[in-house]
Chains A and B, each alone.
Chain A
Amino acid sequence: MSIKDYESVIGLEVHVELKTEHKLFCECLTAFGAPPNTQVCPVCLAMPGTLPALNRQVVEFAVKAGLAAHCAIEPWSRFDRKNYFYPDLPKAYQITQNFFPICTGGYIDVPSEDGSKRIRINRIHIEEDAGKLVHLGAEGSLVDCNRCGVPLIEIVSEPDIRTGEEAVAYLRKLRAIARYTGISDGKMNEGSLRCDVNLSLRKKGEETLGTRVELKNINSFSFVAKAIESEFKRQAAILDEGGTIIQETRRFDESTGQTYSMREKAEAADYRYFPDTDLVPVEISQAEIDRIRASIPRLADERKAGYMEQYGLTDYEAERLTADKELSDFFERAVAESSEPKTLVNLILADVAPLYTEDISEDLLNPKSLGQLADLLAAGGINSNTGRRVLKALLEEDLDPAAYIEKHDLGQINDPEKLEGAVRTALAENERAVRDYLGGKESAMRSLIGRVMKETGGRANPVLAEDMIRKALENQ
């Protein structure tokens, strides 16, 4: 047996913090980064007698996520209590939807080697976040309850994921849904998108599932892939030596790239789930679902199809443009200013898209300027080298591409006097091409023009250059 004989069976539990103004069950604000314990009230501090009052916007956001992930929206769902002690949980129970989640079934298609792969979704449910502990070492620990009661949805996938890359593609797609629908920022580094990985190994071709290990505390896309890879290798090595996998929860350590045991499942808590009768079941009518559906903006897949049809983009190009809502929005703003979408897309995919990492929420450059630049490029006013140089300048500051080109003398050379030297050099240093041309080989003209272009850094007007070369050779 070798590592190649195993495959991972992976399911993800993704927590998405919802961007509602108020908390799930009280009127406290949810904004990230406020001073500790400034966004709290008797309700989220669990003082005696306080009652939760459901923020209906959360239901709407959960339904949006469910619709975007092709889930069934349950007309009746219910809140339960998950009981456990921890200092970041003042009520000593988390209000969640254990028995009757708001969304069930569903799927997300992610790009894969074979084009596209469908990852099924088991459920999406609403729950509240816990607070945050700040450990001071020997002095003890502090509790910040600002996050207590902030609304979350948990999206639970089926174990359809096989590799770290698929897991990351799935997460990117979820983040895109969160951002397209506007329900969350989906920032892993701020904790508004959090991911637990359930992973087991089996021999390729087998149907039975191996012992499941849960990986926690992973807070970036790349760490998700690394944690999966590292855990896959760890388990494969154990299995290869005839060992057995222990069902447990493991923590991913970013500094070592390894996973470490947190607790074994045998000592896992019994959460004593039961219905929370401080709340009534959540009921949603078909009319309300329809209204929410109508309020969802065009999502990635819809935009992708539109781009392919309208601008003649390839599947690959359209997929890349729509993988991130901000990038897609940027493209739409830029393409409105351009008559050359193909050129624009090439520019964006080569030089702009790689800059869209996890946390871009504003345009990196003026989309109008980029649109103009694409037109200049397509019209041959500048060459691609110049195009990239201008783009770099646009990323530095907002400026008019045409003016910049003129100011830095990057435009096309249309003055014969300015081209004369370059033409002379091209002819003098390309005797063979000259011979070929004079011998009737018309294609040799191309390499001569190319040489003029090279001499002028691509700025020569190619029509003028050709004309001047012909005239010069007629005189020989």
Chain B
Amino acid sequence: MDYQKMQLTEIADGLKRKEFSSRELTQAVLSKIRDKEPQVGAYVTLTEELALEQADRVDGLFSEGRTLPPLAGIPGALKDNIATRGIRTTNASRMMENFVPPYDAFVWRLLRQQEMVLMGKLNMDEFAMGHSTETSAFHLTRNPYDLTRVPGGSSGGSAAAVAAGEALFTLGTDTGGSIRQPASLCGVVGMRPTYGLVSRRGVTSFSSSLDQVGPLTRSVRDNALVLDAISVRDRKDVHSVGGQESYLAAAGQDFGRPVIGWPESYFQSGDLNPQVREYLEKALHFYESIGARIVPVDLKTLDASLSVYYIISSAEGFSAMNRYDGVHYGYRDPEAENLEEVYTGSRSKGLGREVKQRILLGSFALSEEHYRDYYLKAARVRTLIIEEYKEVFGTIDALLTPVTATPAWPLGTLPQEAGGGKYSNDRFTLPPSLTGLPALALPLGLSSDGLPVGMQLSGDRFSEGLLYRLAAAYEDAHGLLPAPQEVNA
């Protein structure tokens, strides 16, 4: 059974009609994992036994004739910064290598209520700090479309698992692009919802004002279906608002005559890969051809976004990381002989280089001496960015932009060697993060090297339904990206 060619709704129907069982489906995914995982390395922890138990449970419920939620019996997986009671949650860090949380993240509780089958916990950049999953303390994750290349990050495991067929859907987290960028590099659909649409409770904080949870899937409708399941209001996350509509239904609505903005500043930079530019221009023409109005828009804050993002996320990250001090839980340096050494030893040995770099950056930006010139200034510029996008979305429905300047770059290298800057390659995903607005990464096709190229569609607050509708129109016309094995074969 080629589940990689099926929509989740079709799979749900198949399970319901007992055309195949959840155990069969789970076994198929497990054999794919056995086949691919040694090269791809998407998982930190596999929960094979639990998965088969759950699959049998769901098959039992179906055979009793029970009506189950849409994700029941479908194998998925979670980024390893989402707390799962009784299952270790490592954040891909030595510091938390053996941490088994005594609580569930709210989103995992919702998916358990959906009776999904959990295949395991996915690799990521350590504490979600990074953009290639190479800062994971455990192992590399490789891009399923080219095993010599990065899957992106920080939700690299979440993207690679879906691309390789090692999970039918996954959850990732997005602080500055950590869902959209790996989704784009791995050729899957990734949604960063409006800040507050999905609860953050039980999801390790990196930067509280930026972190959001979202789904990664093969298709647009799959993505909407998973967002429907996880966008429920959580009374214990003060920012949580819950879903505004059925996203699956929204994805299927008529295209209509939306106004799509084309921000010239995003396309002017010299480092934009020509093939990426070509795909984006084709997408614009496609939308125009089916009734959209394309308007150029003037956005001035893109370059500022980069500094603002790194100051704010590092400041919040600095504060969020300080709890990993070896005292209450997590790694404690066994050689420490006093409190000072518990702190310095545990943190020096338990945390990786990228995390330390962000801590230092944040510590600097917040220090009494630099607070005004860095943190406070960044917070003020962030307000200007928010105002600029608010104004833009007063006149247009959505923005069409690159996700990254280049397709996936080789492991062990930096994106600038592939034509981007170390951090500037990330800049296109930053405005939605800083403004708290939703944005979706959609695969457009493959480059001449067989690497996925994607685009970002972003919109106003709670415009997820519209973004799914635009993405679905493209996907319906162009079909799903061929799976990696079809490209490499």
A residues near B (Cβ < 8 Å) are 42, 45-51, 53-54, 81, 83, 85, 87, 90-93, 141, 143, 270, 272-274, 276-280
Q: Using known A-B contacts A46-B328, A51-B237, A274-B375, determine if residue A92 contacts B322 with beta carbons closer than 8 Å.
A: yes
Q: Is B91 an interface residue (CB 8 A)?
A: yes
Specify which of B81, B103, B238, B239 is in contact with A47 (CB 8 Å cutoff): B103
Q: How far is the CB of B150 from chain A (nearest CB, A)?
A: 25
Across chains A and B, the number of contacting residue pairs, with CB separation under 8 Å, is: 97
Q: Is B89 an interface residue (CB 8 A)?
A: yes
Would you give the 0/1 interface string for B348-378, flagging 1 where the beta carbon is closer than 8 Å to chain A?
A: 0000000000000001001110010001000
Specify which of B102, B238, B366 is in contact with A53 (CB 8 Å cutoff): B238
Q: Is there an interface contact between A277 and B101, defined as CB atoms closer than 8 Å?
A: no
Q: Is there an interface contact between A48 and B325, defined as CB atoms closer than 8 Å?
A: no
Specify which of B91, B315, B323 is in contact with A92 (CB 8 Å cutoff): B323
Residues of chain B within 8 A (CB-CB) of A83 are 318-319, 322, 366
Q: Is there an interface contact between A48 and B101, defined as CB atoms closer than 8 Å?
A: yes
Residues of chain A within 8 A (CB-CB) of B315 are 274
Cα–Cα, bound, A45→B91 (Å): 18
Q: Is B208 an interface residue (CB 8 A)?
A: yes
Specify which of B96, B238, B339, B375 is in contact with A48 (CB 8 Å cutoff): B96
Q: Using known A-B contacts A48-B83, A49-B81, determine if residue A279 contacts B238 with beta carbons closer than 8 Å.
A: yes
Q: Is there an interface contact between B366 and A48, defined as CB atoms closer than 8 Å?
A: no
Cα–Cα, bound, A20→B201 (Å): 24
Q: Is B99 an interface residue (CB 8 A)?
A: yes
Specify which of A48, A92, A273 is in contact with B81 (CB 8 Å cutoff): A48
Residues of chain A within 8 A (CB-CB) of B478 are none
- Chain B interface size, as a band, is 35 or more
Q: Is B200 an interface residue (CB 8 A)?
A: yes
Cα–Cα, bound, A85→B316 (Å): 16
Would you give the 0/1 interface string for B61-83, flagging 1 where the beta carbon is closer than 8 Å to chain A?
A: 00000000000000000000111
Q: Is there an interface contact between B208 and A90, defined as CB atoms closer than 8 Å?
A: no
Chain B stretch 150-202: residues in CB contact (< 8 A) with chain A: 200-202
Q: Could you pull out 27 A-B pairs where Cβ atoms are within 8 angstroms?
A: A42-B101, A45-B328, A45-B329, A46-B328, A48-B96, A48-B205, A49-B83, A50-B201, A50-B202, A51-B201, A51-B237, A53-B237, A83-B322, A85-B325, A85-B343, A87-B339, A91-B322, A93-B319, A270-B367, A270-B368, A272-B318, A272-B363, A272-B366, A273-B371, A274-B319, A278-B208, A279-B238
Q: Using known A-B contacts A83-B322, A143-B327, determine if residue A280 contacts B201 with beta carbons closer than 8 Å.
A: no
Chain B stretch 81-105: residues in CB contact (< 8 A) with chain A: 81-83, 89, 91, 96, 99, 101-103, 105
Q: Considering residues A48, A276, A277, which has the most beta carbons from chain B within 10 angstroms of its beta carbon?
A: A48
Cα–Cα, bound, A41→B71 (Å): 31
Q: How far is the CB of B206 from chain A (nearest CB, A)?
A: 10
Q: Is there an interface contact between A54 and B322, defined as CB atoms closer than 8 Å?
A: no
Task: Given A48-B99, A83-B366, A141-B339, output 6 extra A-B contacts at Cβ < 8 Å.
Answer: A48-B89, A51-B201, A53-B237, A92-B322, A278-B238, A280-B239
Q: Is there an interface contact between A49 and B201, defined as CB atoms closer than 8 Å?
A: yes
Specify which of A49, A93, A276 is in contact with B322 (CB 8 Å cutoff): A93
Residues of chain A within 8 A (CB-CB) of B103 are 42, 47, 50
Specify which of A45, A51, A91, A143 is in contact with B236 (CB 8 Å cutoff): A51
Q: Is there an interface contact between B328 and A51, defined as CB atoms closer than 8 Å?
A: no
